[in-house]
Amino acid sequence: MDRVTTLDRPARERPIAVFDSGVGGLTVLHELLVSLPNEDFLYFGDTARFPYGEKTQSELRTFAVEIADHLVAAGAKLLVVACGSASAAALPALEQHLADTDVDVVGVIVPAAQLAVEATANGRVGVLATPATIASGAFAEAIAASDRHVRVTSVPCPDLAPLIQSGIPLDEDAVDIVRRYTAELRAAEVDTAILGCTHYPLFAPILQRMLGRSVRLVTSGQGIIRTVERALGARDLLSAREGEGDYHFHCTGDVASFRTLGTRFLQMPLGTVEHVTLTPTPGRIAA
């Protein structure tokens, strides 16, 4: 995607940017591509600094601002923070950072929380997410804001995203890890579980087996669609194109690895993947 050409387009025809710590956010991009087929998309995977789940809140805010500057310069009309850890740590900082632009930013925490509250029948919701996301309390706060009577059981899963990102086939050791993480949710008798990291949908079948088929799994991609449509509609930025849009990829790590693993996550051909190196902008980093 040529930067000058993109910036010269009418605002409605510029791309929606989606970013994540790695390839996990491609599960969110997949939902967006299906639901908004006329839009163009630019996906950014910060694979050189993966995983985000063990990073500090300050580091995550710094990373998010660097990525946002890159994507705004590339002509994005909307930023979707597909990463749960970055959404939890950096969304307010990003909103402040982009306040003097015409680019809105949306995260995956609140939409998924609202969807889970709508789905639960017994008022017991589980959250599986990275340690950074769980430590932030963002999901628990978002659920309480929607319905303070819902009981939340949160489980940090430090091994799950790296295991999925590695591309190693599912084996008995991986099953044991999933069994350990889901045990607390089974004990709490949740009827709805939020997969609070974009990598986790790839383990949805085994997670469903461990939790039971009566438990509703809520993913980040399911929740974000309505939020993106509302954000674009409020600024009259929905594409007027009748045909299919394009999608392109940037990553900070190895391009070949991104393409190989990314195809598995996106479930569509990836095409061109461009390696980029981020350059921090002095004085523009969130505190």
Annotated active-site positions, please?
A: 83, 197
CA–CA distances in Å: residue 20 to residues 73, 112, 257 = 18, 16, 16
* H or E segment and range at residue 193: strand 192-195
Rg (CA), the chain: 18
Beta-carbon-side half-sphere exposure of residue 70 (alpha carbons within 13 Å): 24
Beta strand segments in 68-114, E:
78-81, 104-107
Strands 247-251 and 192-195: unpaired
Are the C-beta atoms of 198 and 24 separated by less than 8 Å? yes
The verdict on whether omega for the bond into residue 162 sits within 30 degrees of 0, i.e. cis, is: no
- CA 81/CA 224 separation, integer angstroms: 10
Closest CA to 240 of 58, 9, 18: 9
- CA 53/CA 174 separation, integer angstroms: 18
Task: Read off the tokens for 176.
Answer: 């044991």
Strands 78-81 and 41-45: unpaired
Residue with tokens 């930013």: 105
Strands 124-129 and 104-107: unpaired
Q: Is 149 exposed, middle or buried (0-12, 13-18, 19+ CB in 10 A)?
A: exposed
